[in-house]
Chain A
Amino acid sequence: MNARAKGIAKFTYKLKSNGAGYLFMLPWMIGFAVFMAFPIGWSLYLTFQKVGLTGTGFKYKYIGLQNFKDALLKDNEFTIQLLVFLQQMIFMIPIIIIFSLCVSILLNQRFPGRFLFRAIFFLPVIFSTGQVLTELFQQGAGDVPFIAQYGIDTYVSDHFSASMAEPILNILGMMILILWSSGVQILIFIAGFQTISNSIYEAVRIDGASPWTSFWKITLPGIKPFIGLNLLYTMVDLFTFPFNPIMEQIKKNMFSITTGYGYASAIAWLYFLLIMILIGLIMLFLNSSNKAGRA
């Protein structure tokens, strides 16, 4: 009896202490199940189906990997757009990271009025909503004014092959709108600089290091984890970048009679796989930088 009472007491105690944790997590857990796990599973299921609409509801037909095959081999729009987007991303991510690093270095110096500049560089986060950006781009307000002035665009189209020149020109055309998505990254870098203590800079200065060398030897290794963080954030931010062509593709195929939900899901999953590979590479970079920091 005694042992049993003890067992019950132990059980209720555990229930109580764990219960509080689960209770606090409950809304999120429900949300995760309903709005995340279930849609992911369903979406994965849809990729192997041909979904037809009937009067009463959906009609599923298992077609195996046909959707993926169609997307990669038959669809002459999706693969090209995926490649174009990949090309864009390869240009855009370094641009954003390097730009935000440069600006954050400048903003990290001590001078009067730097809060004003900080406010300016964060401003685009406030008003970069999809349709406004698209409209600005369409009216040609997104390019850097001196690109056409100094003939950089003709230089690019003369010196690169057509397949290379096009994405570069495209990027140049919306240069500023790309830079606009670096507001949060700048703040993360500035916060990253605060983690390197001032005494290290003093020490290397006494040892005769110039600011140039101290940047390469102290600052850059010190903020390597933040570069990784920013890479990750930029990637995730580009999911819903208004010029991301995959969004339009999915929407178009969803409501098309010939392709439908199944095919659209397959496209989304291919895109997801591509992203996951890139994120995996970033994570690898992050991990190795963490280990190097500890050693």
Chain B
Amino acid sequence: MKTEAVVRRYSRQVRSLVIGRRAQRAKLVVLGQHANEGLLAKAFIYFMLSIIAYLYLQPFFYMISTMLKGLADLLDPTVKWIPRTVDWNNLSRAFDGLKYPRSFFNSLLLAGGGSLLQVFVCAMTGFALARLQFPGKKLFFALVFLTFLIPPQVIMIPLFVTFSKLGWLNTPFVFLVPALFGQGIKSALFIIIFRQFFHSLPKALEEAAMIDGASMFRLFFRIMLPLASSACLVVFLFSFIWYWNESYLTSMFLSNDFTPLSNKLSNLEATIFGDNPSMAVMSQNPVTEGTKMAGAFLIVFPPLVLYMIAQRWFVQGIERTGLVD
């Protein structure tokens, strides 16, 4: 009898120990070893991020939802997100109103051409600032940084006058020529990115090339530029996006004829309805909201596709190029 009691007592102890350990393990899984690990913390992070992401993307959802609404759905306050009937007319009307194929080509020429030139010239400048010795280098770098801080508002009027005298207004030259000379959109940022990248390469590379008798230009084009292909890609992508989205300078320099997509939205109504004054009153009504959102969607669609393809480089780009060191 006595032994039985002892066994029972011990087994109870063992069981409680096992349960205790299990509970501990469960606690470890749920709460984690530290406060920022474990399921609870993860659930919290997901919860927070999902809410923020929903709020963050809400205007975008609104754009798509409104774009697909017909007139009846737009006027019906009970329809919030999902339209009763999907109306594709908005898209086709916006497509015509934006003169999509032509504006798309204009934007593509500006963004693609500008970015290619920008990559090349900024790489050259960044290389010189990082690897070559010449008097006044520090001053030049300070000037590069200065161009980053100058608001475009300040230099816009003289540029406008110069371009109009040269007859370049409403031609792609107003963007391509500055890009060719390293003064494109946010070029200072790109020069700094390239400078940091070339700084990080080992010195032995160019010494070896020099001993083998390569000239500076050969060194740059055959060794440095291929090595910098990842930086080039990042710069190209960012530059493309920023050229595509530029609407302030384009509204000044390219107001008619050669208009890129980013400036077409504001006169979408005029192109659809003509200059009929009674229609101008209509624009206050939600009648054109769907069409305008369709136009907005058509404008952001190409960079969106680009982002889906090249998302990795965009997001990791800033870290990888060492902009922040």
Cα–Cα distance between A268 and B306 once the two chains are bound (Å)? 35
Report A1-25 CB contacts with B as 1/0, cut-off 8 Å.
0000000000000000110111111
CA distance A24 to B198 in the complex (A): 14
CB distance B35 to A32 under 8 Å?
Answer: no
- Residue of A42, A129, A145 with most chain B CB atoms under a 10 A cut-off: A129
> In the bound complex, do residue B147 and residue A21 qualify as a contact, i.e. CB atoms below 8 Å apart?
no
The reply to whether B62 and A236 contact each other, CB–CB distance below 8 Å, is no
A-facing residues in B286-325 (Cβ within 8 Å): 289, 292-293, 296, 299-300, 303-304, 306-307, 311, 314-315, 318-319, 323-325
Q: Is residue A188 contacting chain B, with contact meaning CB distance below 8 A?
A: yes
Q: Is B10 an interface residue (CB 8 A)?
A: no
From B153, B246, B296, give the contact of A246 (CB < 8 A).
Answer: B153
- Does B135 touch A at the CB level, under 8 Å? yes
Q: Is the CB of B247 within 8 A of A27?
A: no
* Contact residues on A (Cβ < 8 Å of other chain), bracket: 35 or more
Quick check: A191 and B307 within 8 Å, CB to CB?
Answer: no
* CB–CB A20/B241 < 8 A: no
Q: Which residues of A contact B150 (CB under 8 A)?
A: 36, 40, 272
Please, which residue of chain A has its CB at the minimum distance from the CB of B185?
Answer: A240
| A127 adjacent to chain B (CB < 8 Å) | yes
B243-261 vs A, CB cutoff 8 Å, 1 = contact: the mask equals 0111110011000000000
Residue of B nearest to A275 (CB): B151
Given contacts A103-B52, A115-B315, A188-B324, contact A25 B307 (CB under 8 A): no
Q: Say whether A141 faces chain B, with CB atoms less than 8 Å apart.
A: yes
Which residues of chain B have C-beta atoms less than 8 A from A115's C-beta? 315
B249-283 at interface with A (beta carbon < 8 Å): 251-252, 262-266
B125, A27: Cβ atoms under 8 Å? yes
Q: Are A180 and B36 in contact, CB atoms less than 8 angstroms apart?
A: no
Interface positions of B from 54 to 99, Cβ below 8 Å from A: 55-60, 62-63, 66
Residues from chain A with Cβ under 8 Å of B289 in the complex: 139
Q: Among A32, A177, A191, A254, point to the contact of B143 (Cβ < 8 A).
A: A32
Among A35, A176, A210, A211, the residue within 8 A (CB) of B55 is: A176
Given contacts A32-B147, A279-B149, contact A111 B45 (CB under 8 A): yes
Interface check B171, CB cutoff 8 A: no
Complex Cα distance, B162 from A139, in Å, reads 38
Q: Determine whether A179 belongs to the interface, using a CB cutoff of 8 Å to chain B.
A: yes
Q: Is B296's CB under 8 angstroms from A132's CB?
A: yes
Chain B nearest Cβ from A290, distance in angstroms: 13
Q: B181 to A35, Cβ gap below 8 A?
A: yes
Question: Could you tell me if B247 and A131 are in contact, using CB atoms closer than 8 angstroms?
Answer: yes
A89 interface residue, CB < 8 Å from B?
Answer: no
By a CB distance below 8 angstroms, the chain B residues around A125 are: 241, 314
Is there contact, CB below 8 Å, between B132 and A20? yes
Cβ B245 vs Cβ A21 within 8 A: no
Other-chain contact of A120, B56, B157, B178, B252 (Cβ < 8 Å) = B56
CB distance from B77 to the nearest CB of A (A): 13
Say yes or no: B324 contacts A129, CB within 8 Å.
no
Q: Closest CB of chain B to A41's CB: distance in Å?
A: 8
Interface size class of B (residues with CB under 8 A): 35 or more
Whole-angstrom distance between the Cβ of A125 and the nearest chain B Cβ: 7
Say yes or no for A205: interface residue by CB 8 A criterion. yes
Evaluate whether A27 and B180 lie within 8 angstroms (CB atoms) in the complex, with A32-B143, A139-B293 already known: yes
Cα(A184)–Cα(B178), bound, Å: 24
Is residue A72 within 8 Å, beta carbon to beta carbon, of the partner chain?
no
A120–B57 CB distance below 8 A: yes
Whether the pair B157, A264 counts as a contact (CB closer than 8 A) is: yes
Question: In the bound complex, do residue B300 and residue A132 qualify as a contact, i.e. CB atoms below 8 Å apart?
Answer: yes
Which chain A residues in 195-249 approach chain B with CB under 8 Å?
A: 195, 205, 210-211, 226, 229, 236, 239-240, 242, 246-247
Q: Tell whether B5 is near chain A: CB-to-CB under 8 Å.
A: no
Q: Is B176 among interface residues, defined by CB-CB distance under 8 A? A: no
Q: Does B42 count as interface, using CB distance less than 8 angstroms?
A: yes
Instruction: Contact check, B56 vs A124: say whether CB atoms are below 8 A apart.
Output: yes
Q: A28-B125, A141-B62, A211-B34 are in contact. Are A36 and B158 (CB under 8 A)?
A: no
Residues on A with C-beta less than 8 A from B262 are 129-132
A125 to B304, CA, bound (A): 10
Q: Bound complex: CA of A177 vs CA of B57, how far in Å?
A: 10
Q: Once the chains are docked, how many angstroms separate the CA of A42 from the CA of B117?
A: 27
> Cα distance A117–B49 when bound, in Å?
8
Instruction: Return the contact of A251 from the options B162, B252, B293 (Cβ within 8 A).
Output: B252
A102 to B154, CA, bound (A): 34
Q: Is the CB of B178 within 8 A of A35?
A: yes
Q: How far is the CB of B121 from chain A (nearest CB, A)?
A: 5
**Given contacts A28-B125, A31-B181, A34-B181, A194 and B319 within 8 Å (CB-CB):** yes
Given contacts A27-B121, A36-B147, 5 further A-B contacts (CB under 8 A): A39-B154, A120-B56, A126-B303, A141-B62, A192-B324
Could you list some 28 contacts between A and B, CB below 8 A?
A17-B133, A18-B134, A24-B127, A27-B124, A28-B121, A28-B183, A29-B140, A39-B156, A39-B157, A40-B154, A58-B161, A119-B311, A119-B315, A120-B56, A122-B314, A123-B307, A127-B299, A127-B300, A131-B262, A131-B266, A131-B299, A141-B59, A184-B318, A190-B319, A195-B325, A236-B148, A272-B150, A276-B149
A→B interface (CB under 8 Å): 17-18, 20-25, 27-32, 34-36, 38-40, 42-43, 46, 58, 103, 106-107, 109, 111, 113, 115, 117-132, 134-136, 139, 141-142, 144-145, 176-177, 179-180, 184, 187-188, 190-192, 194-195, 205, 210-211, 226, 229, 236, 239-240, 242, 246-247, 250-251, 254, 261, 264-265, 268-269, 271-272, 275-276, 279
